[in-house]
Amino acid sequence: MAHTDLEQEAAALRSEIERHNYLYYVLDQPVVDDSEYDRLFRRLVDLEKEHPEIATADSPTQRVGVAPVTAFTQHGHLVPMLSLDNAFGEDELRAFDDRAKKGLGGDAVQYQAELKFDGLSISLTYEDSLLTVATTRGDGGTGEVVTPNARTVRGVPLKLREHVPGIIEVRGEVVMYKENFAQLNLSRAERGEQVYANPRNAGAGSLRQLDSRITAERKLNFFAYGFGAGDRLAETQSGLLDKCRALGFAVNEERKVLCGLPEMMAYLDKWREKRPSLPFGIDGIVFKVNNLDQQETLGATSRGPRWAIAYKFAAEQAFTKLNRIFAQVGRTGAVTPVADLEAVIVGGATVTRATLHNYEDLHRKDVREGDTVVIQRAGDVIPEVVGPVLDKRPVDAVIPEPPTVCPECNQPLSQVAGQVALLCTNKQCPAQIAAKFRHFVSRGAMDIEGLGEKIIDRFLELGYLTDLPSIYTLKDKEAELMNLDRMGELSIKKLLSGIEGSKTRPLHKFIFGLGIRQVGDRGAYELASHFRTLEKLRHADYDQLKAVADVGPKTASEIWEWFEDANNRAMLDQMLDLGVKPEEGAAPESTIFEGKTFVFTGTLTQMTRPEAEALVLKLGGKAAGSVSKQTTYVVAGPAAGSKLDKAIQLDIPVLSEQDFLNMVDSEEIAGPGTLGL
Ligand code: IVH
């Protein structure tokens, strides 16, 4: 095909794909099914791959993320991103309406009511219709540049659908849909990774990934709610959002222009009730003076505009009956109480169970079987028992006793001194064994596709699985497996190739999969980076283990004991004999932090703490959990506590997060930074 024909085909595909994105994400009216969309997308990917010279920056193929950055750069907003004043209750809303009326001469004021998305605000800069910069809100004046990440977000046009000359800033909220959040947490839990507390945190964490390919996988959505810099594109707030929609942005479809307190209250009532059925989280309603001239007349304070107010909803709670409290056994043998509830809808999902964390917490809250309890979904998702409704306590409500024997294997439970968790120490406990398998094969560990929870249970029952090495003998039973009911040839082939592929997983994943007490994914990563080979790790003595970043005395002895145990040693040898050969731990990419130990404290805003620590390791340094004379730098964010005090006491240089990132960027070790300590 001639070059111009190829270019024409690519251009046609791009506009066709963006049209489908618009129909799907903005208008909510898809006209093709997923397979047709995928076909168009793949054709465009192939074309651009074969002919890189015809690729364009606004191509939808650019929405899948690009190679990671080491840090976010800062970007000043042309117009500050203000916050909103809050109103709680009718009186405060009336006061707002009265102030607006007074400021505008006394007549009734028209407002646009909008949903208040519970997400993360961003600002998108378009230059001559092309998306050039995307930033987080930051401190309102300056934000972090997250352009590659924002490109992956649904509802963000890479190119405006109508030409707008010059620069405009479009503002709005990035949210994670409840469904995507639930999926993400499920797979994180399966992999043994920490789950996000709510969709807002998950959305913020996902947008702030240094690797935008991860952001792309997280499936975020954007809703535009206003403008920053740029020519005024309409006369009213409702006109602005109509314009946003025409330009290609997803907007608040539930918005309504209304007037007077009764209408405002009716709108609030309607959305308070409908809130659970929305696919994304909202934490209130925003009322904005609709006329833009009037907005200008009212102006703003340093905090927020006088023409808008956020009416906040209360946390979503519900009452239900707690039928029973039962004990659940985890992988490490920890036994936790779980509440079995009469089904109730909270925050849009039916809740039948809620964890009670541990027996101490349960007694502190004085929760009893038969109680009516208050259930709350923290940030929409994880249900918790807030406490009992004492007025409704039946006379025969039962105070739950902690179990003395394991609910699964009947062996006596023990309690480690100083810890709240009850433990089943029976190594043969079936619940623990099944949980160990689930952990070993999970995505964060050996990532064995096809060996799900149900298959594990079934294979345990049939005796095909006995201990972890038995996973690697399943291939000798291929013929038998083929004879099992409900097991197709294809799924068995897939399972066996998944098992085969897992033999060479990176060392840190293998270590994590072993399920050594106190060794999470980060600890496993540190052990792998430190010792590099399984051989070195398994022969390390207590002191050598303790020398690893973030391995304290307790963890060191857990690891040492684990490798001393004859059963564990035999199990490892067996796995090695069966061909398991974990890939050696990666060498650091650079030596700029060699010999330097970092401690992070307080809130980091540009990356998570594990990400920061992984960065230190990658650059040849060490990351520790506590401050000592061996610490070279303490990186302190807001809300830093005792670690910061200790650093000052020991005269250890304290860096801000930005100093640290500058250091990473400049590849040289700077002195103490902006905290001026
Ligand atoms: S307007 C100057 N509209 O709420 C006015 N904000 O609590 C700027 N938010 O920072 C905000 N939905 O992140 C506006 N429909 C909406 C909103 C909204 C959510 C967020 C936004 C803002 C925060 C203030």
Task: Please give the average per-residue pLDDT across 125-153, as a whole number.
Answer: 93
Given a cut of 90, whether residue 272 has pLDDT beyond it is no
Q: What is the pLDDT of residue 191?
A: 64
Phi and psi (nearest 5°) for 325?
-120, 125
> If pLDDT is split at 50, 70 and 90, which confidence band does 190 have?
low
116 tagged catalytic: yes
User: What pLDDT score does 380 carry?
Assistant: 41
pLDDT at 671 (0 to 100): 35
* Residue 615: predicted pLDDT: 82
Establish whether residue 310 lines the binding site of ligand 1, counting it when its CB lies within 6 angstroms of any ligand atom. yes
How do 597-601 and 622-624 pair as beta strands?
A: parallel
DSSP label at 582?
Answer: P
Is the distance from CB of 202 to CB of 185 less than 8 angstroms? yes
pLDDT of 376-390, one tens digit each?
865 445 588 888 999
- Which of 368, 355, 370, 365 is CA-nearest to residue 387? 365
Span from the CA of 282 to the centroid of ligand 1 (angstroms): 11
Q: Which residues of 117-128 are buried (b: 16+ CB within 10 A; e: fewer)?
A: bbbbbbbbbbee
Per cent of the chain over pLDDT 70 is 94
For residue 676, what are its two tokens?
A: 């001026």
List the residue whose alpha carbon is closest to atom 18 of ligand 1.
116
Q: What is the mean pLDDT of residues 420-433?
A: 88
Residue nearest to atom 2 of ligand 1 (CA): 82
DSSP letters for 277-339: GSSS-EEEEEEEESBHHHHHHH-B-SSSBTTEEEEEPPPPEEEEEEEEEEEEE-TTSEEEEEE
- Are 25 and 221 in contact, with CB atoms under 8 Å apart? yes
Whether the per-residue pLDDT at 421 is higher than 70: the answer is yes
From the CA of 138, how far away is ligand 1's center (Å)? Answer: 14
Question: Exactly one of 49, 101, 102, 116 is catalytic; which is it?
Answer: 116
- Assess whether the C-beta atom of 169 lies below 6 angstroms from ligand 1: no
Confidence of residue 642 (pLDDT cuts 50, 70, 90): confident
pLDDT of 669 over the 60 cut: no
pLDDT of residue 641: 73
Instruction: Tell me the average pLDDT across 283-307.
Output: 92
The predicted model gives 463-480 an average pLDDT of 94
673 pLDDT higher than 60: no
pLDDT at 639 over 80: no
Q: Measured in angstroms, how far is the CA atom of residue 413 from the centroid of ligand 1?
A: 51
User: Which residue puts its alpha carbon closest to atom 9 of ligand 1?
Assistant: 116
pLDDT in tens, 150-167: 999 999 999 999 999 999
Mean of the pLDDT values across residues 162-173?
Answer: 95
- Cα separation, 468 vs 460, whole angstroms: 11
* DSSP sequence for 460-508: HHHTS-SSGGGGGGGGGGHHHHHTSTT--HHHHHHHHHHHHHHTT-BHH
Give residue 349's pLDDT: 65
* Strongest mean pLDDT among 21-35, 49-63, 91-105, 422-436: 91-105
298 lines ligand 1 (CB under 6 A): no
The residues pairing with 633 across neighbouring beta strands, listed in sequence order, are 598
How many Cβ atoms from other residues are within 10 Å of residue 414's Cβ? 12
Stretch among 104-108, 404-408, 441-445 having the lowest mean pLDDT = 441-445
- Picking from 202-211, 377-386, 424-433, 630-639, which range would have the lowest pLDDT averaged per residue? 377-386
* Rounded CA separation 410/424 (Å): 9
Residue 60 is classified by DSSP as: G
Max mean pLDDT range (157-161, 446-450, 581-585): 157-161
Residue 465: predicted pLDDT: 95
pLDDT of residue 586: 61
The predicted model gives 638-665 an average pLDDT of: 83
In contact, 371 and 399? CB cutoff 8 Å: no
* AA identity, residue 337: P
Q: What pTM does this model have?
A: 0.54
Kindly tell me if the per-residue pLDDT of 585 is higher than 70. Answer: no
Give per-residue pLDDT as tens, 197-214: 678 888 999 999 989 999
Residue 600 backbone dihedrals phi, psi, to 5 degrees: -100, 135
Residue 649 has pLDDT above 90, yes or no: no
Q: What is the pLDDT of residue 627?
A: 86
**Weakest mean pLDDT among 39-43, 408-412, 605-609:** 605-609
For the chain, the average pLDDT equals 87
Which has the higher per-residue pLDDT, 391 or 521? Answer: 391
pLDDT at 326: 93
What pLDDT is attached to residue 405? 95
Say how far apart CA 495 and CA 497 lie, in whole Å: 6
Query: For a pocket test of ligand 1, which of 88, 286, 296 has the largest count of ligand atoms closer than 8 A to its C-beta?
Result: 286
More confident of the two residues 257 and 523: 257
Is there an atom of ligand 1 within 6 Å of 84 CB? yes
Q: 366 CA to middle of ligand 1, Å? A: 39
